[in-house]
Amino acid sequence: MIGAVTVSPRTRRLGLYFANRIDGYFGAGEVVAFLRNLLRSLSGKVLVVWDGDSNHTHTRVW
């Protein structure tokens, strides 16, 4: 599963975005696709906070 929690600075509303896979693995390409889809749903600046998973440090993500 991959997910994002968002907070609107104007309305202080929380949002939850997520996706899951049957095989349970998201590679760097899927992480990039998730972020692109997320950014299409949001306006303004976005701060991303990663955990220590290795696919978050892949060059395709940065």
What DSSP character marks residue 56?
G
In a domain, 9, yes or no: yes
Q: Convert the pLDDT of each residue in 25-37 to its tens digit.
A: 888 888 889 999 9
How many domains does the structure of the chain reveal?
1
pLDDT of residue 62: 60
In a domain, 61, yes or no: no
pTM of the model: 0.75
In a domain, 62, yes or no: no
Please state, in angstroms and rounded to a whole number, the distance separating the CA atoms of residues 7 and 35: 16
Please state, in angstroms and rounded to a whole number, the distance separating the CA atoms of residues 20 and 31: 11
Q: Which domain holds residue 29?
A: 2-56
Q: Convert the pLDDT of each residue in 9-23 to its tens digit.
A: 888 899 999 999 888
pLDDT of residue 46: 86
